[in-house]
Amino acid sequence: MSSVNRAEALIDLGAIERNVAHLISQSGKPALAVVKADAYGHGLVPVAKSALKAGATWLGTALLEEALLLRKSGISAPTLSWLTPIHEDFESALIHDIDIAIPSLDHLAAIMQAASITKKVPRIHLEVDTGMSRGGALSDWKALLHATSDLVKSKKVEVIGIWSHFARADEPGHQFNDQQITNFELRLEEANGFGVTPKIRHLSNSAATLNNPDAHYDLVRLGIAMYGLTPDISQMGSSRDLGLTPAMKIRAQIHLVKDVPAGSQVGYGGTAITTRDTKLAVIAMGYADGIPRNASSETGVLIGNKKAPIIGRVSMDQFVVDLGKDFVTHNGEWAYVISDGYTADSWAKASGTINYEIVTRIGPRVPRIYI
């Protein structure tokens, strides 16, 4: 008898392709597909290939090791990595033609040290802080431009891009978005004054790609939206409102079904007590798989066409749902954790977080099945 996975993530690559094509058509600009964090939990290499098939011309990763894995998988598309501390293996980055974001003079020095060893000309994207106070050069921006200008003149470096990141693009119409665009324009003017002229200017994330044409510039970066999820359901509407199709469904086997009497404590700490005679199902996933421990009864699972809310505290490997006294199901049947029943957004609301975290935290014990 063949075994069945305890739990699995069903990844619809066709949905990702449709989302990417839709977003490109919305912006009319070339697109960089963001595949960081194992493609937001969907699987780095299969998603990267699907995004390129759908028309993306660039790939983006946070970590250098992610970009190197793309190269080892035979993917040669232009790829940018932007979270690369100064002790990273920049020699490998240069050897494998990976673009590197440069947010400081220290990072510029580190990549040039690698260039002196590999005899390769670095392809860099200067990162400027336009108001998020996270990544990018701020007070040292002009110093970075000065140093870069000298390297450009001597043909020791190639400035592919200048870029920044929005803090509040998922709040359409917020004045801070306009301020960041203004800041970006000023920093571009300063770069031009130093003779640093990038081939690509990029600022837009998923939210700005969908709602702010003024920020599209030469390239848009597609993150959460290419996976079919809204950047912010309260500010921008649902996936369906935005013309997107969620690409991930999660399902787990029902480990055990049991009848329990009214007044039964459920789970650690007795945080829930049954108010009536009922039937409970133990779902074979837990916080070790990425299920939020603090998820409330606002979310749960879909079994057949019936929703069953969580009851009690999520455990490491399992959680319990309340079926109601008369619901008929059996050990070994599938319970859909993320689906059209309970979405990533409903799990996020019930856990005090965002849909980004819900999908990216699904762990390696849950195999990805591509459909």
Give yes or no: residues 65 and 210 share one domain: yes
Give yes or no: residues 198 and 271 share one domain: no
Question: What is the distance between the alpha carbons of residues 145 and 184, in angstroms, rounded to a whole number?
Answer: 14
pLDDT, position 271: 94
Question: What is the distance between the alpha carbons of residues 110 and 107, in angstroms, rounded to a whole number?
Answer: 5
Q: Would 52 be classed as within a structural domain? A: yes
Q: Is the pLDDT of residue 3 over 90?
A: no
- pLDDT tens per residue, range 55-113: 999 999 999 999 999 999 999 999 999 999 999 999 999 999 999 999 999 999 999 99
Q: Would 185 be classed as within a structural domain? A: yes
Q: Answer for the pair 250, 336: CB distance below 8 angstroms, yes or no.
A: yes
Question: What is the distance between the alpha carbons of residues 296 and 248, in angstroms, rounded to a whole number?
Answer: 21
The first and second tokens of residue 226, run together, are: 């290419």
Q: Which residues of 155-176 are buried (b: 16+ CB within 10 A; e: fewer)?
A: eebebbbbbbbbbbbbbbeeee
**The residue type at 238:** S
Collect all residues with Cβ–Cβ distance below 8 Å to 115 and sequence separation of at least 6.
94, 121, 122, 156, 157
Give yes or no: residues 192 and 335 share one domain: no
Give yes or no: residues 208 and 148 share one domain: yes
Q: Considering 163, 197, 228, which residue would you say is the last residue of a domain?
A: 228
Structural domain containing residue 275: 248-370
**The residue type at 148:** T
Structural domains of the chain, count: 2
Give yes or no: residues 205 and 302 share one domain: no
Q: Answer for the pair 164, 128: CB distance below 8 angstroms, yes or no.
A: yes
Active site residues: 36, 268
Give yes or no: residues 125 and 41 share one domain: yes
Residue 357: burial class (beta carbons within 10 Å; 0-12, 13-18, 19+): middle
Give yes or no: residues 219 and 323 share one domain: no
Q: What value does the mean pLDDT take over residues 359-369?
A: 97
Give yes or no: residues 159 and 258 share one domain: no
Q: Would 1 be classed as within a structural domain? A: no
Q: Which residues of 107-144 are buried (b: 16+ CB within 10 A; e: fewer)?
A: bbebbbebbeeeebebbbbbbbbbbeeebbbeeebeeb
State pTM to two decimals.
0.96
Give yes or no: residues 166 and 125 share one domain: yes
Q: Would 146 be classed as within a structural domain? A: yes
On average, the pLDDT of the chain sits at 97
- pLDDT tens per residue, range 226-259: 999 999 999 999 999 999 999 999 999 999 999 9
Q: Would 59 be classed as within a structural domain? A: yes
